[in-house]
């Protein structure tokens, strides 16, 4: 790996490929695979990731918002793209770019049917989302007849899939709840498919669902987000996955701090004795929030941990290097291979999702 000379996010496409094949190995040969590339592919780079996964022949992509799907289409991605949380104002653009909406309540369903009619569409692919316990988005079980009634006279659309989302598939203590969600979805999807008189795809499993419930709920397709980026929500599986992103920086300056001197804004850290500190050009505007300060977070320099001191600044943070043999210009690992984002996040009371998706777009991306 090249040594960093500035703050960069290295994205390892070989690791992405490894993770894809590891997850695929848990599935039947004919089970379709939907890759979730929302939020800049979980903070990495949606276009580069999608292009690589398209070469690996994933069956679908998913994004959160229409604008994310438009960016992929503009970059030349031709694989079907599911928009998980579309808004009425974006329906014209969604259709113009051949994106497929998740329709999750009566208002969105009616609005999209009107827009599809205005665009003189026929059999436009849509996806019907059902709520089975996450209580975030989705129709209820007793909405099946309502949906069928609205779809019956409309040849403008065709249901490509019915799906739901598991709430706690990574938690063994919630196995009963998860199995109840799966049973509820089976019942809903079966009723819906029988009444619509053709068989759309069914899908419910997320990454942890693939790893923990593939034997009982693969259905026709699965969805993976965080697993593709190297995290399994379980130490056993995380060891078999490879984080694709490594956030690197360098030491800009080293200070020798006397006892009683302070470091950073609001004198957030006061030295109990003589110490050495290093200033690193990465801060909360880059995605390393203030909650990583006050020694809750750390960076790695020459294979040694250096705790973050005081308050993280907008563009910089300071670390304790009293026990680290280093000099100005040396490489700093914020997170990545050998310096897990999961551990860094846990120390600061958050989760890897928040940390990796929060990396600013001003941070230079380098592809390996």
Token pair listed for 15: 């690791």
Question: Do 100 and 126 meet the contact criterion of CB atoms below 8 Å apart?
Answer: yes
Q: Which of 265, 304, 305, 364 is catalytic?
A: 265
Write down the number of H helices and E strands in the chain: 12, 19
- 3-class DSSP state for residue 163? strand
Under 8 Å between Cβ of 117 and 82: no
DSSP H or E stretch at residue 354: helix 352-357
Catalytic residue among 38, 129, 242, 248: 38
Does the 31-229 domain belong in CATH 3.40.50.300? no
Q: Residue 317 region, left (φ>0) first, then alpha (ψ -120 to 50), else beta?
A: beta
What's the token pair of residue 246? 């490594």
Give the domain ranges of the chain.
Answer: 31-229, 245-367
Rounded CA separation 226/148 (Å): 34
**1 CB contacts (<8 Å, ≥6 apart)?**
10, 246, 368
With a CB cutoff of 8 Å and minimum separation 6, the contacts of 356 are: 42, 43, 44, 229, 245, 335, 341
pTM value surpassing 0.85: yes
Q: Which of 289, 326, 286 is nearest to 308 (CA)?
A: 289
At the fourth CATH level, the homologous superfamily of domain 245-367 is Lyase, Ornithine Decarboxylase; Chain A, domain 1 (2.40.37.10)
Q: Return d(Cα 218, Cα 182) in angstroms, integer.
A: 10
DSSP 8-state secondary structure symbol assigned to residue 5: S
- Three-class SS of residue 203? strand
pLDDT, averaged in runs of 10, over the chain (368 residues):
91 98 97 98 98 98 98 98 98 98 98 97 98 97 97 93 97 97 98 95 98 96 97 87 97 97 96 97 97 96 97 98 97 91 94 96 96
Hey, how many other C-beta atoms are within 10 angstroms of the C-beta on 306? 24
Alpha-carbon gap, residue 32 to 219, rounded angstroms: 9
Q: Which of 12, 13, 38, 363 is nearest to 224 (CA)?
A: 38
DSSP conformation letters of 57-111: T-SEEEESSHHHHHHHHHTT--S-EEESS--GGGHHHHHHTT-EEEE-SHHHHHH
Decide if 38 is catalytic.
yes
The Cα 335–Cα 70 span in angstroms is 30
């Amino acid at each position: 790996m090249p040594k960093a000379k500035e703050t960069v996010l290295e994205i390892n496409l070989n690791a992405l490929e490894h993770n894809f094949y590891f997850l695929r190995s848990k599935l039947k040969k004919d089970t379709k695979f939907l890759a979730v590339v929302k939020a800049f592919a979980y903070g990495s780079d949606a276009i580069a990731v999608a292009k690589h996964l398209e070469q690996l022949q994933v069956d679908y992509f998913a994004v959160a918002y229409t604008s994310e799907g438009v960016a992929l289409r503009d970059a030349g991605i031709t694989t079907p793209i599911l928009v998980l949380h579309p808004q009425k104002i974006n329906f014209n653009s969604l259709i113009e770019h051949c994106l497929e909406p998740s329709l999750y309540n009566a208002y969105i369903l009616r609005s999209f049917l009107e827009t599809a009619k205005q665009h003189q569409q026929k059999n436009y692919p849509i996806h019907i989302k059902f709520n089975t316990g996450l209580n975030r988005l989705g129709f209820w079980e007793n909405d099946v007849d309502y949906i069928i009634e609205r779809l019956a006279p409309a040849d403008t659309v065709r249901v490509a899939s019915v799906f739901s989302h598991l709430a706690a598939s990574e938690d063994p203590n919630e196995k009963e709840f998860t199995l109840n969600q799966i049973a509820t979805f089976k019942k809903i999807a079966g009723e819906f498919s029988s009444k619509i008189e053709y068989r759309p795809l069914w899908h419910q499993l997320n990454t942890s669902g693939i790893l923990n419930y593939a034997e009982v709920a693969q259905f026709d397709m699965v969805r993976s987000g965080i697993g593709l980026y190297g995290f399994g929500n379980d130490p056993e599986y995380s060891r078999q996955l490879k984080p694709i992103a490594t956030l690197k920086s360098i030491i800009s300056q080293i200070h020798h701090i006397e006892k009683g001197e302070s470091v950073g804004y609001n004198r957030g850290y006061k030295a109990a004795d003589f110490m050495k500190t290093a200033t690193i050009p990465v801060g909360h505007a880059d995605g390393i929030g203030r909650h990583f300060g006050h020694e809750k977070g750390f960076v790695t320099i020459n294979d040694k941990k250096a705790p973050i001191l005081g308050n993280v600044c907008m563009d910089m943070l300071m670390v304790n290097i009293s026990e680290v043999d280093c000099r100005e210009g040396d490489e700093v690992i914020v997170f990545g291979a050998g310096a897990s984002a999961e551990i860094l996040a846990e120390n600061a009371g958050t989760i890897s999702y928040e940390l990796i998706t929060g990396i600013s777009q001003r941070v230079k991306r380098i592809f390996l």
